[in-house]
Amino acid sequence: MSAHRLKDFVGKTDVKFGHFIVEFATPGIGHILKSAGCEFVLFDLEHSGFSFETVKSAMRYFEAADLPAIVRVPSKEYHHIARVLDVGAEGIMVPMVSSAAEARHIVNSMKYTPQGARGVALQVAHDRYRPGAVTAKLAEANHRSTLFCQIETAEGVDNAEAIAAVAGVDCLWVGHFDLSSSLGVPGQFESKTFLDAIDRVVRAARTHGKALGRLVPNVETGADYHRRGFSFICYSGDVWVLHDALAAAITRLRDVCTDTKVQS
C-alpha cells in the first residue's frame, strides 16, 4: 500500500504546496503537477462535474506520479465519502462542515470499525488490489485516510474549535468565497469581519493541533496565509492558470504583432 503522505503532512508545520483540478483530468496531469513542484493535488467533485469513474482513473494518474491526492466530495452523504475512499483517495475534503456533529458523522463514514462504520471492501482500488489480513487492512486504511473539513459558513466559524476537537479531523480548510458570503461580505477578503473569522479558525486549529489550509489566487495571498499559520497552500486551479497565462501571452503577442510591420 502507499505511504501515508497526507497523514505525514498534517502532522508537520512546514508548508506544502498544491494545485486545484476542476477541469483537466488527463492521464498526464499527475506528472505535470509533480514536475511543476506540487506536493499534493486537490481534485474537485463539488463543482467540476467529474464522475466517480473519472476519480478512479485520476487516482491512478496521481499514484503513478507519487502525488498525494485530496478529493473534495460533493456533500456530507455517506455514499460520497465512502466511494471516494474506495476508489483510492488518500484524503477527502468535505464542504460546509458547520458543527462537531457533522464532523463526527464524516469520520464515522470514512473510518472502518472500531473507529467508524464504513462498509468494508478489501483488495480493491484503495488498497491497490492486494490481499492481506483483514484486521491489519482496516487499521492501515483508518490510519491512511485523512480528513480536511471546510470551514465556509458563519456557523462553522462559531463551532470551529468544537470541530477541530473531533478525533479524526486532520485539517481545517477555509472555503473563502462561501465563508465571505455566509458572513455577509461576499468577496471582501480584507474586511475585518472576514479576517476576524480567519483568526478564530486559526486559534481553533492551533488549540487542537490541527493543520490549516486554503486555496489562494496568487503568491502574495499564499505568503500572507502561510504567515498566519496555514501549512497547506493550494495555488490556484487548472482553469484559471491556463486562462491567465494564455490571455497574457495572447495580449502581448497581439500588441507586438500589431506594432510590427509585415515585410514585403
> What integer pLDDT is reported at residue 4 of this predicted model?
63
Segment 136-161 shows an average pLDDT of 96
- In this prediction, residue 1 carries a pLDDT of 40
pTM of this prediction? 0.93
C-alpha angle with apex 55: 40 to 140, nearest 5 degrees?
65
pLDDT of res. 202: 98
Give the pLDDT of residue 254. Answer: 93
208 among known catalytic residues: no
pLDDT tens per residue across span 18-44: 999 999 999 999 999 999 999 999 999
pLDDT tens figures, 99-108: 999 999 999 9
Q: Are 208 and 162 in contact (CB under 8 A)?
A: no
Name which of 197, 240, 190 is nearest 215 in CA terms.
240
For residue 10, pLDDT beyond 80: yes
Q: In this predicted model, what pLDDT tens digit does every residue of 151-201 receive, in sequence order?
A: 999 999 999 999 999 999 999 999 999 999 999 999 999 999 999 999 999
Give the domains, in start order, of the chain with CATH numbers.
5-238 (3.20.20.60)
CA neighbor of 148 nearest in space, from 26, 40, 225: 40
Q: Of 31, 47, 176, 243, which residue is the catalytic one?
A: 47
Query: What is the rounded distance in angstroms from the CA atom of residue 79 to the CA atom of residue 118?
Result: 10
**What is the Cα–Cα distance from 29 to 33, expressed in whole angstroms?**
6
**Segment (H or E) for 92:** strand 91-94
CA-atom Rg of the chain in angstroms: 20
pLDDT at 3 over 70: no
CB 47 within 8 A of CB 71: no
Whether the per-residue pLDDT at 2 is higher than 60: the answer is no
